[in-house]
Structure 1
Amino acid sequence: MDNSSFGSYLKQIREQKNWSINQLADLAGISTSQISRIENGKRGVPKPQTIEKIARALNVPYAEMMDRAGYLRPEENQQTPEWANSRDKRDFKKMLEEDGELMFDGVPLDDEDKQRIKDVLTGLFWEAKQMNKRNPVAPDDRRNRS
């Protein structure tokens, strides 16, 4: 989905509720200028954390907004970005499969919360991988980072 499509989708939901940009921004805890840039396609698709705030404010299912934003869900045959090589795909699969008991404050998370965490991790993982491809670290630098 391109930036303007997600922005149009967001604007449509906001207008259906008869909310101003200010109202949505206040309820979501993000700036009015960020909402405006998203709706007008002048900003990239928001990060999963921002989408979660907007989804909560609008009372729209988080998974629906993530799908509309073009984020991938693990159960959808895990398509990967075009630039990802086999090593990247292996790393991602390993990250998702290392699935111990997820807890918050001593309480196990339910399946919906686990899925939210996986969605956020998916976005962050591919974003970090892409940034590393743009700014490769020399082999000597990797050893010095440890």
Structure 2
Amino acid sequence: MDESFGIYLKKLREEKGLTINQLAAAAGISGSQISRIENGLRGIPKPATLRKIAEATDVPYEVLMDQAGYLQETVPVSEPVIPEWATGKDKRDFRKMLEDDGELMFDGIPLNKEDKQRIKDVLTGLFWEAKHMNKRNKSKNDPKPGK
């Protein structure tokens, strides 16, 4: 199990002059949970727990999220495959969908870069499939000009 975050948390707590129990009380979590994190027995805490620790230690939440590995970019971004039949409007729609960079969350927890990329890949496939189906349906339902 990766103990690096635990080591970081212990060093941070000691730098702030806090005992495990003091940090636990200030963060509203159990002392045993802090101890298990520091000793590498618990793994990486959830973002909600990190927020409590950030507030208790007066360390920016983003710093703890980065130290825990949530914000590290390790996923290569692949270029989206755009079908040959896509029109300029289709491409604009697609870009707009991908550029909507709101925070993606699941169960109240922000998704990491890897999970976001997986979702983007799935959405890319679904987007182009839906566009293609829509174009086929329009051509079936539209009467031919001059008939």
TM-score tier, shorter chain, comes to: 0.5 to 0.7
Report if the CA contact (8 A) 1:3-1:38 is conserved. Answer: no
Corresponding position of 1:122: 111
Alignment of 1:23-38 (within 5 A): 23-38=22-37
Aligned residues of 2:23 and 2:56 also touching (Cα < 8 A):
yes
User: Runs ≥4 in structure 1, deviation > 6 angstroms?
Assistant: 114-117
**1:100-143 deviation per Cα after TM superposition (whole angstroms, max 9, x unaligned):** xxxxxxxxxxxxxx7999x93215x94xx9xxxxxxxxxxxxxx
Q: Quick one: percent identity of the two aligned structures?
A: 50
Q: List aligned pairs for 1:84-123, cutoff 5 A.
A: 97=100, 99=102, 120-122=109-111
Change (3 A) 1:115 1:42: same
**1:3–1:43 Cα contact (<8 Å) kept:** no
The equivalent residue for 1:17 is 16
CA distance in 2 between partners of 1:96 and 1:52 (Å): 27
Which of 53, 76, 79 is equivalent to 2:75? 79
> How many residues end up aligned between the 2 structures?
94
Asked whether the equivalents of residues 27 and 52 of structure 2 are also in contact (C-alpha less than 8 Å), the reply is: yes
Q: What TM-score results when the alignment is normalised by the length of structure 1? A: 0.54
- Structure 1 residues 35 and 7, CA, compared in 2 at 3 Å: closer, same or farther? same
**Unmatched 5+ stretches in structure 2:** 77-96, 119-147
- Secondary structure of the residue aligned to 2:17 is coil
The offset of 1:98, in angstroms, is: 6.5
| Letter matched to residue 22 of structure 2 | Q
Give me the CA root mean square deviation: 3.4
Q: State the Cα distance separating 1:11 from its structure 2 match.
A: 0.3
Alpha-carbon offset, residue 3 of structure 1: 3.1
SS of 1:38's partner is helix
1:29-48 equivalences under 5 Å are: 29-48=28-47
Distance 1:61 1:14 in 2: 14
**Normalising by the residue count of structure 2, what TM-score does the alignment of the two structures yield?**
0.53
When Rg is computed on C-alpha atoms for both structures, the one with the higher figure is 2
SS state of the match for residue 41, structure 2? coil
| 1:40 Cα deviation after fit | 0.2
Residues 3 and 41 in structure 1, CA contact (< 8 A), matched pair in contact too: yes
- Could you give the per-residue CA deviations for residues 73-96 of structure 1, whole angstroms, max 9, x where no partner exists? 6xx4x728xxxxxxxxxxxxx799
Q: Cα–Cα, structure 1 residues 96 and 71, in superposed 2: closer, same or farther, change >3 Å?
A: farther
Instruction: Give ranges in structure 1 of 5+ residues lacking alignment.
Output: 81-93, 100-113, 130-146
Q: Secondary structure at the match of 2:75?
A: coil
